[in-house]
């Protein structure tokens, strides 16, 4: 059975794609057939091939399973706004059936599937459902990316509480430094370690110019791969 994780974050712009790409690269380096998915993306650019999203393209480049862009990113919207607003403005209804078909195709082709959300854990997809509902629909474990900045303790703990209240498991979390001026960084990481039962999969220092190879080498993905083998 394919192992699957849903990569979410404490907010938008906290490094979800950086971590999702790193997970793909790390698993591929271990010889694992890995696919990735960005179910819904806004902030897309018009190209001769259609709307394209930078995050989805990065995932497509990092995975070693062949797939079409539309499988990796079934719903793409041009404005860089909340996906549910972008879908509404485009007159599009985000259908879980459409996402299910792409999800199943990728899952069947891979040994591990990395699904990346958009925004934070509770970001809406329509008037009643959000990315959290999609993760529950697929019943997949979660990897939480914590953007290390002022307020991250509250944001991280609220997100973990919300995930677990929905009956899902936090498989691990990553501390991603996004504010070079953030004070007491070690103390904040220690506070999260003591309050989140899931393991910390790694700490990524502030390095906006770093390539994707560094986080791929840094993250502890062995536990994720072992769980996939046992599932």
Active site residues: 38
Tell me, what DSSP letter sits at residue 165? H
CA–CA distance, 95 with 226 (Å, rounded to integer): 33
Beta strands in the chain (DSSP E): 3-9, 34-37, 40-41, 45-47, 50-52, 75-76, 112-116, 141-148, 170-177, 200-204
Partners of 124 in the β-ladder: 130
Nearest-CA neighbor of 63 among 135, 113, 102?
Answer: 113
Is-contact 136 81, C-beta < 8 A?
A: no
CA–CA distance, 155 with 152 (Å, rounded to integer): 5
| CA dihedral over 15, 20, 25, 26, signed as positive or negative | positive
Is-contact 223 174, C-beta < 8 A?
A: no
């Amino acid at each position: 059975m394919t192992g699957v994780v849903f990569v979410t974050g404490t907010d938008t712009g906290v490094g979800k794609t950086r971590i999702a790409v790193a997970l793909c690269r790390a698993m591929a380096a271990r010889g694992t057939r890995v696919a990735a998915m960005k179910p819904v993306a806004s902030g897309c650019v018009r190209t001769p091939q259609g709307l394209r999203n930078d995050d989805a393209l990065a995932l497509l480049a990092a995975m070693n399973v062949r797939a079409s862009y539309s499988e990796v990113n079934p719903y793409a919207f041009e404005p860089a706004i909340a996906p549910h607003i972008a879908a509404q403005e485009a007159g599009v209804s985000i259908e879980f059936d459409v996402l299910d078909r792409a999800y199943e195709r990728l899952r069947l082709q891979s040994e591990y599937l990395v699904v990346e959300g958009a925004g934070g854990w509770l970001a809406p997809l329509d008037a009643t459902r959000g990315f959290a509902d999609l993760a529950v629909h697929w019943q997949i474990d979660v990897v939480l990316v914590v953007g290390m900045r002022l307020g991250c303790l509250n944001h991280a703990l609220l997100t973990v509480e919300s995930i677990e209240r929905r009956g899902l498991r936090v498989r691990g979390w990553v501390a991603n430094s996004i504010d070079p001026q953030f004070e007491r960084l070690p103390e904040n990481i220690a506070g999260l370690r003591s309050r989140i039962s899931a393991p910390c999969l790694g700490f990524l220092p502030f390095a906006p110019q770093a390539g994707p190879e560094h986080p791929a080498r840094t993250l502890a993905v062995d536990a994720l791969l072992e769980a996939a083998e046992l599932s």
